[in-house]
Amino acid sequence: MTVTSDLPGAALARRDEYEQMLRAGLLPAHVFPPLAKEVEDAVLERAWSNAASPYDGHRLYVLSVAGSHSRIKIGQTTEVRRRITDHLNEYHVNGHGLVDAWISDPLPDGRTRENSLRALLRLLRLEPGHRREEYPGASFQQVRTAAIVATPPSASELIGSTADLE
């Protein structure tokens, strides 16, 4: 499930190499080479740079996790950096790693947007695995696109405050 990415060429090549190692089971649990940190840092840096604000708030996120049981992970939280770090620590224990990520701009209600995303994924006939937030058969592009659709700007964000109209 190699995904296209807007990572720079060298980082993209390193990410592809890392993903192949994960899928082949060449990285035993708990042992992650410098390549792992390099790739995961580049993926997260790119995801943050695409978000409008570096500050926490309700955020929806999509993570592409590679390994013997690759999957797409979705979630929402008000502490996205801490939550993604928690997920990565859990995945690393099992020999899995992050190969792509998307983080939304701050949202007024993350839980509602996550539920909208789940509904869109059901419409696409994508069903979660044994964990309701993980989609083992989905592509990163599909889920990221659905997440973008599930996080449209609110009417007030589109028109600004009424003071702006006067």
Query: Residue 103: its pLDDT value, please?
Result: 92
Query: Residue 119: its pLDDT value, please?
Result: 92
Query: Residue 4: its pLDDT value, please?
Result: 45
Alpha-carbon distance of 127 to 117, in angstroms, equals: 12
CB 91 within 8 A of CB 85: no
Residue 58 β-bridge partners: 107
Question: Would you give the distance in Å from CA 14 to the centre of its chain?
Answer: 19
**Domain locations in the chain as residue ranges:** 9-151
Residuewise pLDDT in 10s, the chain (166 residues): 334 456 556 777 788 888 888 877 776 666 667 778 888 888 888 888 877 776 667 899 999 999 888 899 999 998 888 899 999 988 888 888 899 999 998 888 889 999 999 999 999 988 888 788 999 989 999 999 999 999 877 555 555 544 444 4
